[in-house]
Amino acid sequence: MPSPTTPAPTTAPPPARRRAPRSLRNVIGGELVDGVRTFDKVDPVDGALVAVVHEAGPAQVDRAVAAARGALDGPWGRTTVAERARLLRRVADLIDARSEELVAAEVGDTGKPETLARDLDVARAAANFRSAADTVSAAGLDAYLTELHDGRRALNYAVRAPLGVVAVIVPWNLPLLLLTWKLAPALAAGNAVVVKPSEETPSSAMLLAEILADAGIPDGVVNVVHGFGPGSAGEHLTTHPGIDGVTFTGESSTGSAIMRAVAPRVRPVSFELGGKNAAVVFADADLDAAIAGLARSTYLNTGQVCLCTERIYVERAVFDDVAAGLAEHARRLRLGRPEDPATTTGPLISVAHREKVLRHYDLALHEGAELLAGGGVPTLGDGLDAGSWIEPTLWAGLDNSHRTVREEIFGPAAVVIPFDSEEEAVALANDTDYGLAAVTWTGDLARGHRVAQRMRVGMSWVNTWYLRDLRSPFGGIGLSGIGREGGPHSLGFYTEPTNVCVQL
Ligand code: NAD
């Protein structure tokens, strides 16, 4: 039998998408600006050079913050909600018009299947802009008059102004989706921003900067600086005295470092951080739907979605069926080139990240896990073996006392664990330092509501996963974050209220 993770047999291998490596500079005040040095961005599919990226030093970050401040003091600071909503809708239309370029940029940086980049990342980027335009339009008045208390002796009302210069720092897993999720509401509320994309995924932010300019967003409103975290653009930005707040998506430990960085100047933060998300499967669930749903929530984007399931609690009566069904799904996933329509699963983002995930694979076995699927590095041939490929993996035989069940892996791997009662399932799911997302699979609607409401998480799904209404609150509890973004919740972070009290 061929290895389950060999590329899908296709009539003829599709031609590899390969473009000449690009040089990516910082975007500051509408100009392309060199960095202090450059670094290479390689393709995780096969290790080929994708781009040479200019790393911003303190001087470039300083210029970017000054450009943003200047934009706030200029015509952008006097735009109306209606004008900004119109600009954001134009951005969304241009994203649609240039979607294939954005797909190519996202695929070149991440190696994810083209279909995924098209249907998830790029489609959501346009939707993020439209949703922010709708939200800010619904908020109505230009000053967002949010409350009015007409007392006998005084009239109190609160007006909202933009937060100011916002640092937007994002990770590599869904680069454009997560950047626009923060950028669109920040602009809708009238802020100016300095964006720092991940060092692993600098490309789509550059195309987006072009699109923003073409849509008519003035120079300096959105600046892009490239580089790493500590000792690089990320740290220069978060320690800069000119920023008024930080919105960040990434690892919990990085969130903690950013909190320390902004602490001396007490800046507000909005954090969307890591997860160790649970799924709970009751015996009364539609098992085929549950297994297919678990396969998606565990292995989508090679497990590199903050919402991915890494702990699966299954009622004992159906444990063997669910474990076997999910292992079968894991073995059927097709690793391969992004442009091949048969490909379901791309590589991990980098060889360095694969090293980290493989350490978890070793740890699981060391802790006594039973391997149900995957567990190693596949041999794919076809020039792919210099990439950062890994096998989709499933373990049993562990419980909540094991590190494998407690630490975020951020790869295509999960543990299945049996339970005997609803009470036990809830307790096991909530036994974590994280609190991002959970899924409950059940055929009993009352139980679905009951269990979903008891999950200590920001997002609790029933019989589905990653179904999103962009107006609803998104964020995490505990190590998974601070604050909520989405619709009016985003405007709460990206604006500052001032209460006005007039004696009558
Ligand atoms: P990361 O924290 O390593 O990096 C994220 C960004 O922060 C990058 O741009 C990086 O350069 C920058 N950065 C790193 N250290 C910094 C510092 N000291 N100061 C300023 N900036 C710094 O995260 P990652 O590896 O890129 O992404 C994976 C993580 O993101 C996972 O933990 C995942 O769960 C989390 N994530 C969370 C959500 C969510 O919505 N909750 C969404 C996606 C990813």
Is residue 120 assigned to a domain? yes
Kindly state the average pLDDT of the residues 139-158.
79
> 189 and 291: one domain?
no
Kindly state the average pLDDT of the residues 303-315.
98
> 36 and 143: one domain?
yes
pLDDT for position 17: 57
Q: Which of 55, 114, 272, 408 is catalytic?
A: 272
**Global confidence as pTM:** 0.95
Ligand 1 pocket residue status of 129, Cβ below 6 Å = no
Distance 498 CA to ligand 1 centre (A): 32
- Range in 42-51, 74-83, 138-147 with the lowest mean pLDDT: 138-147
Distance 54 CA to ligand 1 centre (A): 20
Kindly state the average pLDDT of the residues 375-403.
96
Is residue 46 assigned to a domain? yes
> 384 and 464: one domain?
yes
Contact assessment for residue 129 and residue 89, using Cβ atoms and an 8 Å cutoff: yes
Closest atom, ligand 1, to C-alpha of 476: 41
Q: Which of 306, 308, 315, 422 is catalytic?
A: 306
Closest atom, ligand 1, to C-alpha of 306: 34
Residue 141 has pLDDT above 70, yes or no: no
Ligand 1 pocket residue status of 202, Cβ below 6 Å = no
pLDDT for position 142: 64
Ligand 1 pocket residue status of 163, Cβ below 6 Å = no
Ligand 1 pocket residue status of 175, Cβ below 6 Å = no
Ligand 1 pocket residue status of 272, Cβ below 6 Å = yes
> 147 and 46: one domain?
yes
Mean pLDDT of the chain: 94
Is residue 432 assigned to a domain? yes
Ligand 1 pocket residue status of 259, Cβ below 6 Å = no
- 272 belongs to the catalytic site: yes
Distance 424 CA to ligand 1 centre (A): 32
Ligand 1 pocket residue status of 448, Cβ below 6 Å = no
Kindly state the average pLDDT of the residues 323-332.
98
Is residue 11 assigned to a domain? no
> 233 and 291: one domain?
no
Is residue 92 assigned to a domain? yes
> What is the C-alpha to C-alpha distance for residues 387 and 7, in angstroms, rounded to an integer?
14
Residue 151 sits in a domain whose CATH number is: 3.40.605.10
Is residue 13 assigned to a domain? no
Q: How many beta carbons lie within 10 A of that of residue 59, not counting itself?
A: 12
Ligand 1 site-directed mutation target among 179, 196, 254, most atoms within 8 Å of CB: 254
Q: Which two tokens stand for residue 16?
A: 């590899």
Amino acid identity of residue 454, one-letter, is: R
Can you state the percent helix, strand and coil of the chain, rounding each to 5? 40, 20, 40
Q: Quick one: what percent of the chain has pLDDT higher than 90?
A: 91
Q: Provide the number of structural domains found in the chain.
A: 2
Is residue 8 assigned to a domain? no
Is residue 93 assigned to a domain? yes
Distance 478 CA to ligand 1 centre (A): 16
Closest atom, ligand 1, to C-alpha of 480: 41
Confidence of residue 423 (pLDDT cuts 50, 70, 90): very high
> What is the C-alpha to C-alpha distance for residues 495 and 37, in angstroms, rounded to an integer?
35
Instruction: Return the SS3 of 460.
Output: strand
Closest atom, ligand 1, to C-alpha of 174: 43
Encode pLDDT of 453-473 as tens digits.
999 999 999 999 999 999 999
Kindly state the average pLDDT of the residues 186-192.
97
Residue 475 has pLDDT above 70, yes or no: yes
Take atom 26 of ligand 1 and give the residue whose Cα is closest.
Answer: 171
Query: Could you please report the per-residue DSSP string of 8-20?
Result: PP-SSPPPP---P
Ligand 1 pocket residue status of 198, Cβ below 6 Å = yes
> What is the C-alpha to C-alpha distance for residues 28 and 61, in angstroms, rounded to an integer?
9
Distance 229 CA to ligand 1 centre (A): 9
Total number of residues shown for the chain: 504
> 258 and 303: one domain?
no
Take atom 40 of ligand 1 and give the residue whose Cα is closest.
Answer: 272
> 255 and 369: one domain?
no
> 135 and 37: one domain?
yes
pLDDT for position 208: 98
Ligand 1 pocket residue status of 229, Cβ below 6 Å = yes
- H helices of 341-470, where? 351-366, 422-430, 445-454
pLDDT for position 138: 85
> 240 and 95: one domain?
yes
Residue 15 has pLDDT above 60, yes or no: no
Give me the helix-helix angle, 99-110 and 175-188, nearest 10°. 130
Residue 196 has pLDDT above 70, yes or no: yes
pLDDT for position 478: 98
Ligand 1 site-directed mutation target among 41, 232, 236, 251, most atoms within 8 Å of CB: 251
- 84 lies in which domain range? 22-273+479-503
Ligand 1 pocket residue status of 350, Cβ below 6 Å = no
Ligand 1 pocket residue status of 274, Cβ below 6 Å = yes
> 266 and 364: one domain?
no
Encode pLDDT of 152-178 as tens digits.
899 999 888 999 999 999 999 999 999
Kindly state the average pLDDT of the residues 79-86.
95
Ligand 1 site-directed mutation target among 306, 307, 433, 490, most atoms within 8 Å of CB: 306
> 250 and 373: one domain?
no
> 189 and 231: one domain?
yes
Distance 197 CA to ligand 1 centre (A): 10
Ligand 1 pocket residue status of 395, Cβ below 6 Å = no
Closest atom, ligand 1, to C-alpha of 275: 34
Closest atom, ligand 1, to C-alpha of 252: 32
Residue 412 sits in a domain whose CATH number is: 3.40.309.10
DSSP lists the bridge partners of residue 280 as 313, 440
Confidence of residue 20 (pLDDT cuts 50, 70, 90): confident
The contacts of residue 275 (CB under 8 Å, 6+ apart) are: 306, 307, 308, 310, 408, 434, 435, 436, 437, 476, 480
pLDDT for position 14: 42
Evaluated on CA atoms 431, 436, 442, 447, the torsion sign reads: positive
